[in-house]
Amino acid sequence: MSEQTQQDENKIIAERRAKLNALREQGNAYPNTFRRDALAADLHKDFDALTKEELAEQAPVRVKVAGRMMMRRIMGKASFATLQDMTGRIQIYVQRDDLPEGFYNQQFKKWDLGDIVGVEGYLFKTNTGELSIHVEKIELITKAIRPLPDKFHGLQDQEVRYRQRYLDLIVNQESRETFILRSKIVQHVREFLIRKGFLEVETPMMQVIPGGASAKPFVTHHNALDMELYLRIAPELYLKRLLVGGFEKVFEINRNFRNEGLSTRHNPEFTMVEFYEAYTDYKTLMDYTEELLKELAELAVGDTKVPYQGQVFDFGKPFDRLTMKESILKYNPEVKPEELETLEAARALADRLGVHWEESYGLGKVMTEIFEETVEERLMDPTFITEYPAEVSPLARRNDENPFVTDRFELFIGGRELANGFSELNDAEDQAERFKAQVAAKDAGDDEAMHYDADYITALEHGMPPAAGEGIGIDRLVMLFTDAPSIRDVLLFPHMRRAD
RNA sequence: GGGUCGUUAGCUCAGCUGGUAGAGCAGUUGGCUUUUAACCAAUUGGUCGCGCGUUCGAAUCGCGCACGACCCA
C-alpha cells in the first residue's frame, strides 16, 4: 500500500487497522486452519422443513461453517449474526457464556461486518422458525479493513459495481445469481454439443492473420519473433482447418476481441461458442439452435415465455424462418419484390427508406443494409433469417439454385442478432476469389474487410469435407436469459475507462 | 461523435428561487440472553468529482474537463 493511499484512509479504516494490529500481536492474524464441513444452502435444503421441536428432539447436528459476517444483532450477553458463503446465508447465535472467559466482549464484539469468521456448533431453530447455528466455537479467519456497502440497500452505484465487482457480488444477490446462471448456461451449451458428439478444442487467440469475421482487430507484438500478432476476431478459420484434419465435429467456447466502441451490447472482448460439423448443412444447425435455445429457456427461466425488459419472447412455438428478402417485404409492405432485384432499383428503394449506401456496394450489400435498418430491430420472437447475399458472406457456401445468395442464416431475438451460421464454403478456388474481393474492398477503404489468408486456402486445397458451422454470442444469450439491459451486467469485469 | 441526466460522509440518499452541509445504515461509547434492515441512548465522520468564472457570498448559477448511466448516429 502506498503512502498516498494511507494518507487517504478515513477513520473507519484506521480503526479497523488498529484492530488488525491487535490481532497480529495475539498471533497469526490470517490463519488458514479452519476447515468447514457444511454450506449454508445445503443446511437450509436439509433442515428448513423440520420444526423447531423436531430439530431439538433429534441428535444434535454439529456443523462447521465459514463465511463473511453480513449482519449482526448484539443483545447484551448474546448475539445473532448472519454469515454468507458461496451458497447463501445462515444465521448464527452466539452466547457469551458458551465462549471462553472474556472472548465475547474482548474479541467477538470488536469484530466488524465484512470480517470472515468460522463457527462450530449445532443446528437449532429460533422462535420465529429460522434455521440457525448455536455457536460453541468461533474464530476470526480474515479481518476486513474496509467497510462493506450498505447492508440493506446493497451497492447501487453502477460504476462501482462494475469496477469493484467483488463488492457487487458480496452485497447484491441478483448479481450473484446472474453470474451463477451464466455459468450454468455455458455449461449447458458445452454439454449440449458434447451430447451431440462434438469435440471441444482450443485454437489460437493470437493470430498472424485475423480472420473469420469482419472487424477491426487488436494488434500486439511478439518480441522473440519480432512480429505483429493480432488478437483473434473469430476462431472460424482454425476450426475449419480442423475439419480438413479430420476432426469432423468440433467446437470452441472462448473469447473474441474486436477493436470497436463500447455500448450496452458491445464489449471489446466477448465470448462466443463456435461449432462445425462435416457432412451436414445449415438447416441442421438451425434445428440444433432451436433445440438448444428451447433447452436454455427451460433451464434459465423454467418456461417457454422468456421475459426481457418488459417484453416477452415466445420460445414455445417453432421459430419463424424467413429469407432476407421475404423479411424485407413483410416488414415494409409497400415495397415490391422487383425493387430488390436490380442494383438501380435497390438503390432507389434505399434512398426512399432513408438507408445509406455507397458506390462500392453491390445489390447484395444494399439489400443487407435495408434489412438491417428496417427489419432487424423488429424481430422479437426467435426468428431465423436465411439467404444472406454472397456479397456479405465471404466464407459461406453459395446456394446451389441461386448463387446470388448463400446457405446462411442468422437468428434474431428481441431485435438482436444472437447467432450466425452457414454451410461452409469448401471450394478453395471460390474462397480465393472471395478473399480477393475482400482485399479489393480493404484497398478501397473498408478497414473491416478480410485479409487474404493463403495458408487457409492451402488447407482447403487439401480438401475440406462439406460442412456447416455456427457462432452463438454467449454474452447476448446470457443477457436475454437474465433479463439484463447491458452486456456489462453479464460480464464479471466489463471494460471501463481508466478511473484516474 | 451528438444529446439528456448524474457525481454530496465508508454505503444509501436529502439539501427549494445562492447565505460555508443533513438523515438512515456502517463506526465509536453505554444498555439489552431468541434477534432478523433488531432495538434504546449518546457520539465521531465531509477538499459537496476536478478546474475556472459570476457574486459580498457557490453543493446550489455559468463554462470547461473527468468518469458513469441512458438515448441517438
Kindly state the average pLDDT of the residues A315-343: 96
Q: Pick out the nucleotide with least CA–C1' distance to A126.
A: B34
Nucleotide nearest to A147 (CA to C1'): B10
Residue A1: the pLDDT is: 31
Instruction: Report the pLDDT averaged over residues A32-40.
Output: 97
Give the C-alpha separation, A265 to A261, whole Å: 10
Mean pLDDT of A472-481: 95
Q: Which bases of strand B sit closer than 7 A to a protein CB? A: 6, 9-13, 24-28, 31-39, 44-46, 66-73
Please answer whether residues A477 and A296 qualify as being in contact, where contact means their C-beta atoms are separated by less than 8 angstroms. Answer: yes
Quick one: average pLDDT of A52-76?
Answer: 96
Residue A9's pLDDT is: 60
- pLDDT at residue A10, as a whole number: 79
ipTM for the complex shown: 0.92
Residue nearest to nucleotide B50 (CA to C1'): A500
**Given this model, what pLDDT does residue A7 score?**
40
- Contact in structure between A162 and A488 (CB atoms under 8 Å): yes
Mean pLDDT in residue range A428-445: 92
Whole-number Cα distances in Å, A73 to A79, A81, A109, A147: 6, 6, 10, 17
User: Per residue in A191-215, pLDDT tens?
Assistant: 999 999 999 999 999 999 999 998 8
Using C1' positions and the CA of A16, the closest nucleotide is B27
Q: What's the CA A71/C1' B22 distance, rounded, in angstroms?
A: 26
Per-residue pLDDT for A189 more than 70?
yes
Return the C-alpha cell found at A434. Answer: 472471395
- The pLDDT score that the predictor gives to residue A261 is 84
Tens digits of residue pLDDT in A113-171: 999 999 999 999 999 999 999 999 999 999 999 999 999 999 999 999 999 999 999 99
**pLDDT score for A400:** 97
The pLDDT of residue A5 is 37
A275-318 tens-digit pLDDT: 999 999 999 999 999 999 999 999 999 999 999 988 999 999 99
pLDDT at A6: 37
Instruction: Return the number of other C-beta atoms located less than 10 Å from residue A358's C-beta.
Output: 11
Tell me phi and psi for residue A229, to 5 degrees. -130, 155
Q: Which of A79, A126, A82 is nearest to A103 (CA)?
A: A79
Q: In the structure grid, which three cell numbers stand for residue A216, read together? A: 477491426
Residue A400 has what DSSP assignment?
S
pLDDT at A260 (0 to 100):
86
Mean pLDDT of A416-442: 95
Percent of chain A with pLDDT over 90: 89
What single string gives the DSSP state of each residue in A193-233?
HHHTT-EE----SEESS--SSSSPPPEEEETTTTEEEEE-S
Share of chain A above pLDDT 70, in %: 98
How many helices and strands in chain A, by DSSP H and E? 16, 18
Give the pLDDT of residue A69: 98
Cα–Cα dist A219/A228, whole Å? 7
A87 residue type, one letter: T
A2 has a pLDDT exceeding 70: no
The confidence score (pLDDT) of residue A127 equals 95
Looking at residue A28, its pLDDT comes to 87
β partners of residue A367:
none
- CA dist., res. A276 & res. A472, Å (int): 12
Q: Average per-residue pLDDT in chain A?
A: 94
Band of pLDDT at residue A4, cut at 50, 70 and 90: very low
**Nucleotide nearest to A162 in CA–C1' terms:** B68
